[in-house]
Amino acid sequence: MTVLFLFLLLFLLMFIGVPIAVSLGLAGSLTIILFSPDSVRSLAIKLFETSEHYTLLAIPFFLLAGAFMTTGGVARRLIDFANACVGHIRGGLAIAAVLACMLFAALSGSSPATVAAVGSIAIAGMVRSGYPQEFGAGIVCNAGTLGILIPPSIVMVVYAAATETSVGKLFMAGVVPGIMLGVVLMIAIYVVAVKKNLPALPRATLREWLGAARKAIWGLLLMVIILGGIYSGMFTPTEAAAVAAVYSAFIALFVYKDMRVSEVPKVLLESAKLSIMLMFIIANAMLFAHVLTTEQLPQQITAWVLEAGLTPIAFLLVVNLVLLIAGAFMEPSAIILILAPILFPIAVRLGIDPIHLGIIMVVNLEIGLVTPPVGLNLFVTSAVTGLPVTGTIRAAMPWLMLLLAFLLLVTYVPWISLALPEWLGMS
């Protein structure tokens, strides 16, 4: 009865247009006040407990690093480098946009930031070269989802905090699926480009390639610092995020000199606003998850699943369906914090690796970012291109089919996610 009230109230509040964070907080608070033996003081304690998660401290740092990289012109240099690498292939500008998304994803940890940074430059370049605007918008909208799959990933940090799994292992597990999805998109673009006879750039000379690589090297080095530092044990993922933020600021201000010192307060303020918004969602989602836990819902569902004799294959199919539906209506971090505590114990009992479950959840949430009505990447792409949201949805849908096929592959071939962490000895 309590759980039914909790979910009905949540959906009612969301339906009437209350922001997701407030809906989660109100639903959790009213349920505790009306039905729970817990005192109202436990609400305040639970909200402040969010700040005690050391892992979550990585989020504002990664957001800050992404802001400096976006403002500091790193995205433009990465796109130039990607064009020098693959621009001469048929459809090369679009393939280069995917490569640039992959490279920028390894710096920012955020899908909307990847779409905004790469899309604002790459789509305009494609249109100038004779590509249809919808074609460019559809590609960048979907390729931008790699922002939460290729490490570092803010969503992975949230999953690690919710399930107490290793952030470093999750990051390494995202590398192979992220590269695979990028390559799949590139191959699909090449096939379409050959059929539609889309233009190709002249092949870059060795000098041009070296020049583009030299300009992009400082951005590319950040990937080595983050992943190399975590894997070598030099610093934790949270410390890596702090190092990334300082490094990004230094590169933007003193190496590329695309930013003036007077612009730093604005970047800090924008990052702070985004961090506060995200942490407010996380705090309220944790309050909601706390109510679920006190009502023993995860344990009840686990017992029901085991009694029903659900196999791992059937369970993962149900997980995908639930997450795809949730992803169309809710913010990724909130979905992780509500559903991970429910799905995690069942997965463990069924012998599914928690890291594998984490990657499945992330790929589902990638798809949610390009699924109406609340797909964030759709709105960012629409803002960047000037296309109406309905036009952006039509442009993104064909490529979304590829993401769904890739989801099935990642779900039922655990090796894709687990091979690299196991090879690196991160058991």
Q: What secondary structure does DSSP assign to 335-397, as a single string? A: HHHHHHHHHHHHHHHTT--HHHHHHHHHHHHHHHTTSTTT-HHHHHHHHHH---HHHHHHHHH
What is the pTM for the complete model shown? 0.87
**pLDDT, tens digit, for every residue of 164-221?**
898 889 999 999 999 999 999 999 999 998 888 887 888 888 899 999 999 889 888 8
Sequence length of the chain is 427
- Using alpha carbons, list the distances in angstroms from residue 9 to 22, 28, 338: 12, 9, 15
pLDDT band, very low/low/confident/very high, at 404 (cuts 50, 70, 90): very high
Lowest mean pLDDT among 30-39, 147-156, 176-185, 269-278: 30-39
Lowest mean pLDDT among 163-167, 235-239, 288-292: 288-292
Determine the Cα angle at 252 with ends 246 and 253, to 5°: 90
Average pLDDT (328-353) is 88
- Using alpha carbons, list the distances in angstroms from residue 124 to 272, 285, 330, 388: 29, 38, 30, 16
pLDDT band, very low/low/confident/very high, at 427 (cuts 50, 70, 90): low
How many CA atoms, within 13 angstroms, populate the side-chain half-sphere of residue 296?
5
**pLDDT, tens digit, for every residue of 14-68?**
888 888 888 888 888 888 888 877 777 777 777 777 667 777 888 888 888 888 8
